[in-house]
Structure 1
Amino acid sequence: MSLNLNYKPNFFVNTENIPEDEWLEWRRKGIGGSDVAAALGLSPYRTMLELYYDKIGVVPVEAGEDKSITFQIGHLLEDVVAQIFAKKTGLSVYRDQTMYQHPLYPFMLADVDRFIHMPDGTTAILECKTAHYDTQYLWANDAVPRHYEMQVRHYMSVMNIDVAYIACLFSNSEKDFVWRKIERDLDEEENTIMLLQDFWTRYVCNRVEPPLNEKPDMVLDVLRRFYGPADTSAPSVSLASSFVPVLEQLLVMKAEKSDLDSRVRKLDAQIKSAYAPIAELMGPSCRATCVDRGVTYNVSFNAQCREGISKDKLSALKAQHPDIYDEFIETTEWRTFKLTKSQN
């Protein structure tokens, strides 16, 4: 595969006045910049399976964490981020509410936040982000979070643009603001296109579910949301014999975990027995020291509090004030995986 750089992006759809549900339908016709990390199994927020379901129009049975407000806030603040970027860099920023399509790889789409008129007459891309204040460390030493970088590189590929900037605002102060310049990398771009093409053709076009390769908690959460709550009346599922090696491995791992849990419980008991005399001497004090031959041992025995309601009081609340109980109590379902083995 050798990239042809003699192209201009195709006009796909004008997004200026279309409602969100229609905009989402257009996005399902290809892979957009924010889809790239998930399509490659590298997103910290979304699995390949979740992206696949989205592209084929499968709606989850259960709603996940409500990200709509966060998305709306980020969308509303795009202009603020763009204005701060323009002020700090002196570059001219403008908006083009068009979704574009790669002319050589039609499954690749780009809905770019802003464009930049560069002083040399060329055009650059500006991606506007907002993030929590505590995530600034991800941008330290001129770094860019990988999933954001992949998004911007995707836009550069679709638009055939060599330079992009990504800017991020962390608070309501422009002091908590960073921007990074990203230059096109054709070798990485070529490899990414091949991987995205494989995802699109192998899974989306053929209606084949992608593998579950991401973090287990992410995968299980997606399965829960798309398959819904447990149904005790549902018939038992018969597993193929090809699962036997996996089941045997699970039995071994669960036995090892049980042994380790037992050892941890014994160690916890031994640790508490060892420091109980020290706790007795400390009484209500939270600190102690021991000095011996130039070595100082510092001990802390701090209190930790956790708010909660006992089962008895919870039952009383439900019986005496059912309206208050229903208003504030949330039921969360989780499922416990158990495995046993028996001889027929």
Structure 2
Amino acid sequence: MSLDLNYKPNVFVETASLTEDEWLAWRRKGVGGSDVAAALGLSPYRTARELYYDKIGVVPAVEGEDKSITFEIGHLLEDVVAKIFAKKTGLSVYQDQKMFQHPLFPFMLADVDRFIHLPNGDTGILECKTAHYDTQYLWANGAVPRHYELQVKHYMAVMNIDVAYIACLFSNSESDFVWRKIERDLDEEENNILLLQNFWNRYVLNRVEPPLTEKPDMVLAALSRYYGPADKNAPTVTVGAEFAPALEQLLAMKAQKKDLDAQSRKLDEQIKRTYAPIAELMGAACGAICESNGIKYNISFAPQYREGISKDNLSKLRAQYPDAYDDLVQTTESRIFKLTKAIA
């Protein structure tokens, strides 16, 4: 595929007067920038299967945490991020409340936060982000989180724009603020378009579920959301014989893990036996030093504290203060996969 760069984006829909539900309905008509990482199996938050379900209107059996407040806060702070960016860079920023569509690949949509008047007269893109203070390390040394980078490059493709910036605010102080410039990469763009086209045509249009290829914890969490809580009264499922090799592999891996766990416990015991005489010398002290042959060893034996309620006290709480128990104690479900082998 050779990209034709002589195009202008279509206006898919004016978004200024849309409700959130209407806006989401329009988004489901194609792949937006925030969908790209999930469609390519690279999102840290969402599987391709979940994105597929969203596009065809399948609702999870169990709603996850309420993200509407987080979304609303992020949306409200877009203007703050844009103003800080304009102040720090001197670039002129403006908003165009439209959802755009790629004219050559109509499944590709873009709802761009802000646009930039560049000094040379060209137009640039500004993507505004807010993130938790503890995630600043993801932006260290000029880096951009990959799912955000894919989002911005998608917008560049739809809009036929060569320069974009992404800015992120981590707190209520503009000193906790970063921005990065992203250049258009036509080779990567062409490859991503082919992958997104495959996702849209092969899976969404044909109503075929994408395979679950993401990290196991993400996959299991997605399955839990869409299948709902465990049903102890549900009939036993018969798994096809083609899964027998996988079950044998599971048994072998579990046996290997059991051996390694035993080795780990033995090593833990040996470690404690070795440092017990040192702990005796330290008494209540939390630190110690040892020097030998020009080498200094720094020793820490510091306490760690964890708050919790014992089972007995939890039972007392339930009996004596049932209302407080219901308000404070949260029940969560986790499922344990067990496997045994017997002669049929």
Q: Report the TM-score, using the length of structure 2 for normalisation.
A: 0.97
For residues 19-38 of structure 1, the aligned pairs below 5 Å read 19-38=19-38
Distance (whole Å) between structure 1 residues aligned to residue 156 and residue 35 of structure 2: 15
1:9 maps to 9
Distance (whole Å) between structure 1 residues aligned to residue 117 and residue 295 of structure 2: 64
Distance (whole Å) between structure 2 residues aligned to residue 84 and residue 298 of structure 1: 45
Single out whichever of 272-281 and 122-131 deviates more from structure 2: 272-281
1:80 maps to 80
1:288 maps to 288
Runs of 4 or more consecutive aligned structure 1 residues displaced over 6 Å after TM superposition: none
| Paired letter, 2:243 | F
2:176 maps to 176
For residues 267-286 of structure 1, the aligned pairs below 5 Å read 267-286=267-286
1:101 correspondence with 2:101: yes
1:114-136 deviations in whole A, cap 9, x for unaligned?
Answer: 11122322211111111122222
CA distance 1:343–1:99, change in 2 (3 Å): same
1:209 maps to 209
* 1:5 to partner: Cα distance: 1.1
| Paired letter, 2:232 | T
Single out whichever of 22-31 and 178-187 deviates more from structure 2: 178-187
For residues 1-344 of structure 1, the aligned pairs below 5 Å read 1-344=1-344
Single out whichever of 48-57 and 315-324 deviates more from structure 2: 48-57
Distance (whole Å) between structure 2 residues aligned to residue 254 and residue 260 of structure 1: 10
Distance (whole Å) between structure 2 residues aligned to residue 288 and residue 156 of structure 1: 57
Distance (whole Å) between structure 1 residues aligned to residue 69 and residue 316 of structure 2: 36
SS at match of 1:119: coil
| Paired letter, 1:302 | A
What percent identity do the matched residue pairs reach? 75
Could you say what the CA RMSD is over the residues aligned between the two structures, in angstroms?
Answer: 1.2
Distance (whole Å) between structure 2 residues aligned to residue 321 and residue 171 of structure 1: 39
Distance (whole Å) between structure 1 residues aligned to residue 304 and residue 183 of structure 2: 50
1:150-202 deviations in whole A, cap 9, x for unaligned?
Answer: 10110011111111111111221222222222121111110000000011111
CA distance 1:289–1:90, change in 2 (3 Å): closer
Single out whichever of 265-274 and 70-79 deviates more from structure 2: 265-274
| Paired letter, 2:124 | A
Distance (whole Å) between structure 2 residues aligned to residue 120 and residue 294 of structure 1: 62
Distance (whole Å) between structure 2 residues aligned to residue 261 and residue 88 of structure 1: 54
Distance (whole Å) between structure 2 residues aligned to residue 172 and residue 299 of structure 1: 39
Distance (whole Å) between structure 2 residues aligned to residue 25 and residue 82 of structure 1: 26
* 1:70 to partner: Cα distance: 1.8
Q: Report the TM-score, using the length of structure 1 for normalisation.
A: 0.97
SS at match of 1:42: coil
SS at match of 1:77: helix
Single out whichever of 30-39 and 5-14 deviates more from structure 2: 5-14
Distance (whole Å) between structure 2 residues aligned to residue 253 and residue 92 of structure 1: 58
Number of matched pairs: 344
1:231-251 deviations in whole A, cap 9, x for unaligned?
Answer: 111011111111111111111
* 1:295 to partner: Cα distance: 2.8
* 1:21 to partner: Cα distance: 1.0
What runs of 5+ residues in structure 2 fail to find an aligned partner?
A: none
SS at match of 2:87: helix
| Paired letter, 2:202 | R
Distance (whole Å) between structure 1 residues aligned to residue 20 and residue 266 of structure 2: 56
What runs of 5+ residues in structure 1 fail to find an aligned partner?
A: none
